[in-house]
Structure 1
Amino acid sequence: MFEIATHLALLLIVAAFVAGFVDSIAGGGGLIAMPMLLIAGASPLEALATNKLQGAFGAGTATVAYARAGHVRLGEQLGMATVSALAAAAGAVVAKAMPADILRLLMPVILVAVAAFFALKPGLTDLEQVQRLAPAAFTFTAVPLIAGYDGFFGPGTGSFFMLAFVLLAGLGMLRATAHTKLLNFASNIGSLAVFIPSGAMWWGVGIGMGLAQIAGAALGAKMAIRVGARLIKPLIVTVSVAMALRLLWQALG
């Protein structure tokens, strides 16, 4: 059933539940699941491909939960989602042929900056912010840049989408979280279109983790909808700092 020993698969399933919960609120679930896949013996390409599979389950679940609660209209986001999927596929193509060492060194700095922004910037609530980019400009600048990164490397994508929606699109934190999930789901699907033909997928493990992601994402989205920015903001700060420290430790070997 699983490609690895059962006890390792069960640990990955538990990690996926936690990743789904965290990712549905603040992004960054991939940095919980990815290291666990590598520790379990996956090659970098196997870990990346399997992470995208299980992450798609969680992002899809969170998307539906936020849409049902009325925080996002999926029809209005289809254009952005299409761009996200295509850009992520392009990033995944690059990932298959290019080392990510430089990106690994830059990521801790970027993530600390994300954490500092959310921790120190006043006025980050569920209220709407100032819109700095029109929807079309946002779709063809911020979306492909972040989604392309997701296909290429991945950790922190949800936090980056959230930051872009708050800072550039002017959304409040709860709506930004809701809008982030569909784009993250689309970027996972675009990446999978490239990784599945590579034959690197752990299907048994990935589906098991995906089912756990569904449970974690549903719980996380429910809590975010109930509590709003009071939960989202501190979790983004915590997750961003944790991701930065994890990546810095990994980069320094």
Structure 2
Amino acid sequence: MTPLFQELILLCLAAFAAGFIDAIVGGGGLLQTPATLLILPHYPVATIFGTVKIPSLAGTSIAAFKYAKQIRLNYKVLIACVIAAFCASLMGAYSVSKLNNDLIKPIILVVLILVAAYTYFNKQFGIHQQKEHSPAKQVFLAGLFGLIIGFYDGLIGPGTGSFLILVFIAVLGFDFVGASAHAKIVNMATNLAALIYFTSTGHVLFQYAIPMAIFNIIGSYFGAKLALLKGNKFVRIFFLIVIFGTILRFAYDVLK
């Protein structure tokens, strides 16, 4: 078995698991990106980020399509968030080589710990829609947080889906399944924007990215199907598991 084939097997397994997780609660990049960095250590970080954007975009697109067929979408909120996130993701991708990501990770770690605690102790979080915003305010908040999270996705990436779900629940008042559906479409936009930049600068390894995309799609299909079948309670539990894993990952990066 050649080294290339061994790398492909490991990368495709990671992509399948990432697609499955990402379709349910986001955060698949927390598995896929570190795994790719570990399996392909001899490539620049920007090249790894560019490569994993293709399977991420492919899997997220499949999940978004499946959700969109069964979930009623708020198009005004969605469009505002998509446009803002797309533009910000382009800026974030451009900034990858300009900023020190290690400065951002401790802040994200603290936020994640607070989110995990709030979600665990607030049993109604993500079960019922609780926010009473005017349509205009809802659109404004969607655009604002689209800018913030879109920039993060272009700059760092992993965990973007989970952060988007958090915003749609905690800020905009969606339930877990509705938040997942909207987050997938926004995440498509951020992945596409970053991919446009990375491709234009030659930071994509297509020999790895295409097979990974196929397996990410398969994982995403089954993940979205399971989330729609099981409903909010299941997604809430899965969300807590992924958030806990995210905390461990960021804690390792910060404390090592």
* TM-score, with length taken from structure 1: 0.93
Q: 1:52 — aligned with what?
A: 53
Kindly indicate whether residue 13 of structure 2 is the aligned counterpart of residue 14 of structure 1. yes
* SS at structure 2 position matched to 1:200: coil
Which AA in structure 1 matches 2:148?
Answer: L
Q: 2:37 — aligned with what?
A: 38
Match of 2:160 among 157, 161, 167: 157
Deviation at 1:60, TM superposition (A): 0.6
Q: Structure 1 CA distance, aligned partners of 2:154 and 2:106?
A: 18
1:218–1:72 CA distance, 2 compared to 1 (3 A): farther
Matches within 5 A, 1:16-165: 16-41=15-40, 42-72=43-73, 77-132=78-133, 134-165=137-168
Q: Work out whether residues 71 and 181 of structure 2, in 8 Å CA contact, stay in contact via their aligned partners in 1.
A: no
Deviations 1:17-42 (A, max 9, x none): 10001011111100101111111123
Q: Work out whether residues 14 and 32 of structure 2, in 8 Å CA contact, stay in contact via their aligned partners in 1.
A: yes
Kindly indicate whether residue 203 of structure 2 is the aligned counterpart of residue 204 of structure 1. no
1:145–1:108 CA distance, 2 compared to 1 (3 A): same
Q: Work out whether residues 77 and 142 of structure 2, in 8 Å CA contact, stay in contact via their aligned partners in 1.
A: no
Q: Structure 2 CA distance, aligned partners of 1:56 and 1:74?
A: 20
Q: Structure 1 CA distance, aligned partners of 2:246 and 2:230?
A: 23
Q: 1:249 — aligned with what?
A: 252
* SS at structure 2 position matched to 1:130: coil
Q: Which deviates the most, 56-65 or 133-142?
A: 133-142
Deviation at 1:147, TM superposition (A): 1.0
Q: Work out whether residues 57 and 188 of structure 2, in 8 Å CA contact, stay in contact via their aligned partners in 1.
A: yes
Q: Which deviates the most, 72-81 or 176-185?
A: 72-81
Deviations 1:63-113 (A, max 9, x none): 100011134366873342122111111111111322211112222222222
Superposition misfits of 4+ residues, deviation over 4 angstroms: 73-76
Which AA in structure 2 matches 1:64?
Answer: F
Kindly indicate whether residue 223 of structure 2 is the aligned counterpart of residue 220 of structure 1. yes
Which AA in structure 1 matches 2:191?
Answer: N
What percent of counterpart residues are identical? 28
Deviations 1:212-250 (A, max 9, x none): 111111111111111111111111111111111112212
* TM-score, with length taken from structure 2: 0.91
Structure 1, unaligned runs of 5 or more: none
- Give the RMSD, CA atoms, in angstroms: 1.9
